[in-house]
Structure 1
Amino acid sequence: MLGLFKRLVHSKSEDVIRCAAVVPAAGSSSRMKGQDKILLPLAEQPVLVHTLRALDQCTYITQIIVVTREDLIVPVGQLCRDCGLSKVSRVITGGATRTHSVLAGVREVDENIPLVAIHDGARPLVSQAVLAAAILRASECGAAAPAVPVKDTIKRSHAGLVDATLERSELFAIQTPQVFERSLIRAALAKALEDGVTLTDDCSAVERLGIGVALTQGDYCNLKITTPEDMAVAEALLAWRENE
């Protein structure tokens, strides 16, 4: 009986977790040879549709904000309507940098939603397990992100020569969604912009404030599409996952 009670309490606590997703999709796709990577077909659906569907299906996510380029506002909005993505509440224009774009998205999140998951529009293979793990951990500690151990030996170089070989057991590749308490990430991003700091991910904004980010289990399938080769890998991974 006690075990059943604990499961019921645990289930109830998870049910009240509410998270918004901010999806930056405003990049120039400069390494995709002039093609917009978020609109490229992956298994007959645009990359962005796969991404948004995964977020739309997540129990904890109740609102999705898509941040894209001005010239993509209409086609992205139409995609969301055509695909019945009911949790997409807004499609807005991004800013000059990723940080500007993400902050713009965070500012559109409903005030009654305490958590924000920032997830790359070009990560279409994110699993429900990865989403849930990061959101649940962030609900406990305020900041969390999925990560996977690096597979290659990593070397630091200077002037084209090896400067050091880094300890691989201590290195992780950080993925998205990166999930934060809403007011924390909003303040952290605003501070980074105020200080003129260039960020490559959103965890860095929080780390600058001296706040730790918890790592959760990532997935090697959760790749970010950046180059044409990545599209081929994503196609293969999608087919492999569907045949498992």
Structure 2
Amino acid sequence: MDLLRRLFHREEAAASFCSAVIVAGGRASRMEGIDKILCPMGGEPLLLYTLMPFQTSSLVDEIVLVTREDLMVPIGTLCSQRGITKVRRVVKGGESRTESVLAGLRETDPQASLIAIHDGARPFLPLEVLEQTIETARQRGAAAPALPVKDTIKVAQEGVVQQTPDRARLFGVQTPQVFEASLIKGALTKAWEEGAALTDDCSAVERIGFPVCLTQGSEENIKITTPRDLTWGEAILAERMGR
């Protein structure tokens, strides 16, 4: 472990520069033709809610947005009109999530010692979840918010149960996932070069043997994936506005 920490130049300075890479470039194939990133919720585009915790937090220094080519101008205009001043660059994503994240990482400020990677379709990230995850990553090198799994999980093959994992050890992982900059850049580049199939960014550092610390997630930090999620999102928004 000491070797890994030296390899990735771990920095523990209190005033770390943190770049946020927000990936908002998917095709939304399960949204029945709805472009979820700019879909209106409560009168504002969904992406605006996603950006606000990063804009607000004193722990985040810049935002790099990764999106589809056809959304680059509309998103840039939205950020300008709504005063999202931390968005320094809007860049074109790749064919896969890994390629898109790498495109964003290449555009982060060279002085960044921490990088937070977040799904553009998670519009209700609580500020405290963001900041706790950043602080934990600053101390430990890699962190992600998570919630304990509520359902019993079955591992099956061809419809037949093979195993029932201990639910007490299972967690649903959310974003933002926050890492030392050199760690995630090296791990994702290695995964991409080796053609590794990743379901999240933590997987890239896990496969090279670096531990990821879990922080407290939030029930509100949902990912908008289907049209039904929009209804759930509207309910979260209405509750927040009523507080």
- Please state which band the TM-score falls in when normalised by the shorter chain: over 0.9
| Number of the residue aligned with 1:170 | 169
TM-score, normalisation: structure 1 = 0.92
**Higher mean C-alpha displacement, 79-88 vs 151-160:** 151-160
1:214 aligns with 2:201: no
> Could you tell me which amino acid in structure 1 is paired with residue 80 of structure 2?
R
Cα distance in 2 for residues equivalent to 1:242 and 1:182: 35
| Number of the residue aligned with 1:41 | 40
**Higher mean C-alpha displacement, 97-106 vs 35-44:** 35-44
Shift of 1:242: 2.9
Q: Is the 8 A contact 1:122 1:224 kept in 2?
A: yes
CA RMSD of aligned residues (A): 1.3
> Could you tell me which amino acid in structure 2 is paired with residue 107 of structure 1?
R
Cα distance in 1 for residues equivalent to 2:37 and 2:14: 31
Cα distance in 2 for residues equivalent to 1:71 and 1:154: 39
Q: Is the 8 A contact 1:154 1:168 kept in 2?
A: yes
Shift of 1:164: 2.1
Q: What is the CA deviation profile of residues 34-68 of structure 1, one whole-angstrom value per residue up to 9, with x for unaligned ones? A: 12111111111111110011211111101000000
| Number of the residue aligned with 2:3 | none
| Number of the residue aligned with 2:81 | 82
| Number of the residue aligned with 1:157 | 156
TM-score, normalisation: structure 2 = 0.93
Cα distance in 2 for residues equivalent to 1:32 and 1:236: 18
Go from structure 1 to structure 2 and tell me whether the alpha carbon gap of 1:15 and 1:72 turns closer, same or farther (over 3 Å shift). Answer: same
| Number of the residue aligned with 1:8 | none
> Could you tell me which amino acid in structure 1 is paired with residue 227 of structure 2?
P
Shift of 1:15: 6.3
| Number of the residue aligned with 1:73 | 72
Shift of 1:101: 0.5
| Number of the residue aligned with 1:196 | 195
Q: Is the 8 A contact 1:15 1:60 kept in 2?
A: no
Give 5+ residue unaligned stretches, structure 1.
1-12
| Number of the residue aligned with 1:16 | 15
Cα distance in 2 for residues equivalent to 1:16 and 1:235: 36
| Number of the residue aligned with 1:133 | 132
The percentage of counterpart residues that share the same residue type is 53
| Number of the residue aligned with 2:99 | 100
Cα distance in 1 for residues equivalent to 2:76 and 2:93: 14
Equivalence map 1:115-134=2 (5 Å): 115-134=114-133
| Number of the residue aligned with 1:181 | 180
